[in-house]
Amino acid sequence: MIAKDDLRYPPISRPTDDGGSWYTTHPVTAQELIALMDRSGVDRTVIVQPIQVYGSDNSYLADSCAAHAERLWGIGVVDIDDADVSCAALRRLVSDSWLAGVRLNLARDSGTIDPRCHPLLECADELGVPVLLRVTPGQLPQLPGLLKGFPGVEMVLDHCGFVEFDEGSGGGGAAPLFEVGAHDNLYVKVSTMNLDGAGGSVDPALLVRDLGRCFGADHLVWGSDFPHTHDRDHAQLVGFGREMARMLPGDGAADFLGRTAAGLWGPRDEASTGR
């Protein structure tokens, strides 16, 4: 979500902006998003802080989720550079801003996961909030160790770890993701951008089915990536997500499209599964 009031919610300085970025060409406010949700038949949405726009200033996200608590659940961002400051920021996000989770951007140039995230994971464990992890494909081999080191933290892998699905799930660029395997505290966020990246000969619904077989259909969450993805309107993206869930067995489609997300980020008394 992008605010119209740049004075109240100033974006971070981006000297390289050319005016063609999604947040300038296709900004969507909280009110506009809710109107689109109504048209698309979506009751609730999990909103992720746009790092490119506001960095770790979660003010607009927090204010929007507070004003529309029945419709929007927010995932804020904290930096990992200073553990004490970041842990204090995480506590404020959960206790004062009532955000439902935190996103850690660990996708650095190094192929290793920065250990400075450990105090934040400890803090998330204490607060009982899930962590959305942004990592690179090269960091995926270290993910099992992180999961085992913090078994009480529910971790959601953002955008499938940014692997390439051009060869489907049989190998190629997707192999590091499937090699991670299932873990009780691991969930995988499958975004429109991931499914759009599948090769032309690959049915994206088959890819979702294979991800469900690997990680558990109840450990997948769908993300529209809207408005970052804006080549289709909101209703079409929602329809695409529903179509991609068609091969998941049993209640897998309901889990993929919302029930698992509600269990992770929704209010405890409304979630169908506990945190």
- 17-21, 133-137, 239-243: least confident range: 17-21
**Residue % of the chain over a pLDDT of 70:** 94
Answer whether residue 272 shows pLDDT above 50.
no
Render pLDDT for 112-122 as a digit per residue (tens, 0 to 9). Answer: 999 999 999 99
Residue 274: per-residue pLDDT: 33
What is the mean predicted confidence (pLDDT) over 183-207? Answer: 91
What is the mean predicted confidence (pLDDT) over 90-118? Answer: 90
List the Cα angle 65/118/135 in 5-degree steps.
70
CA distance 251 to 219: 12
Whole-number Cα distances in Å, 254 to 12, 105, 114, 246, 272: 37, 28, 35, 10, 11
User: Could you give the dihedral angle defined by the CA atoms of residues 223, 240, 244 and 249, in that order, rounded to the nearest 10 degrees?
Assistant: 90
Answer whether residue 17 shows pLDDT above 90.
no
Residue 177: per-residue pLDDT: 96
Whole-number Cα distances in Å, 274 to 44, 86, 93, 181, 263: 18, 26, 20, 22, 6
Residue 16: per-residue pLDDT: 59
Answer whether residue 220 shows pLDDT above 60.
yes
CA distance 272 to 275: 10
Domains in the chain (CATH in brackets) are 22-265 (3.20.20.140)
Find the helix or strand (DSSP H, E) in which 22 lies: helix 22-25
209 close to 247: Cβ distance less than 8 angstroms: yes
Mean pLDDT of the chain: 92
Render pLDDT for 25-75 as a digit per residue (tens, 0 to 9). Answer: 999 999 999 999 999 999 999 999 999 899 999 999 999 999 999 999 999
What is the mean predicted confidence (pLDDT) over 242-249? Answer: 96
Bridge-based pairing state of the strands 72-77 and 101-105: parallel
Three-state secondary-structure class, residue 47: strand
Three-state secondary-structure class, residue 171: coil
Which of the two residues, 138 and 200, has the higher pLDDT score?
138
What is the mean predicted confidence (pLDDT) over 216-221? Answer: 98
Residue 270: per-residue pLDDT: 45
- Sorting pLDDT into bands at 50, 70 and 90, what band is 185? very high
Render pLDDT for 153-183 as a digit per residue (tens, 0 to 9). Answer: 999 999 999 999 988 886 789 999 999 999 9
102 close to 78: Cβ distance less than 8 angstroms: yes
List the Cα angle 243/36/203 in 5-degree steps.
15
Residue 188: per-residue pLDDT: 98
Q: Which residues pair with 73 in a beta bridge?
A: 46
What is the mean predicted confidence (pLDDT) over 206-226? Answer: 97
- Beta strands (DSSP E) in the chain are 45-48, 72-77, 101-105, 131-134, 155-157, 186-191, 220-223
CA distance 269 to 275: 11
Answer whether residue 78 shows pLDDT above 90.
yes
| Joined tokens for residue 140 | 């995926």
What is the mean predicted confidence (pLDDT) over 92-99? Answer: 89
Answer whether residue 275 shows pLDDT above 70.
no
Residue 156: per-residue pLDDT: 98
Q: Centre a 10 Å sphere on the Cβ of residue 53 and count the other Cβ atoms it contains.
A: 20
Residue 267: per-residue pLDDT: 82
